[in-house]
Structure 1
Amino acid sequence: MSSPDLGSSLVTLSIRETTVKRLCKSHNIMTVNGQFPGPTLEINEGDSLIINLINRGRYNMTLHWHGVRQMRTGWSDGPEYVTQCPE
């Protein structure tokens, strides 16, 4: 699967459990758009990007963004009760 088209300001990511076989054993892992690791999103400074996230997994998920500076908003990058206030 290719990376999402970033020509527009909206990207849809779908998270789901996928069964993979490694070393003769089957394991369920979470994939993003059928990929593990998920697709790389590259944008330029000043660009706006809206992420439409569809969670098709059985459990709540937390996304972590690498390469995004959290200027005075570091509390918003992580799980509830650890780095976020619960909703």
Structure 2
Amino acid sequence: MGLSDVKQAAYENLDLLEQVVRFKDRFYPSRSAHYDKATPPYLRLIPTPSNITALRQDYESMRSMVFGNPPSFDEIIAQLKQMETEMNHLVR
């Protein structure tokens, strides 16, 4: 998404994100879900350090299933970091 036209459209439609957050909060309440943190400036796209190793191993084992020239795991994480920063600086 970060390298596509979809990114800009998503950034321009934060109302949809807020609608999804309200819907999830109302119909799928969960003590472990922090829906109030699912909008800027609280969005977190980067996995926790405790999950990075397992995710890296999983991605590397499945990388051959991705069509074309798949990005490295580090490239994906870098793109997610950039998007997280951009999204959390969006002003409404």
> Could you say which TM-score interval applies, normalised by the shorter chain?
under 0.3
TM-score, length-scaled by structure 1: 0.23
More helix by share: 2
TM-score when scaled to structure 2?
0.22
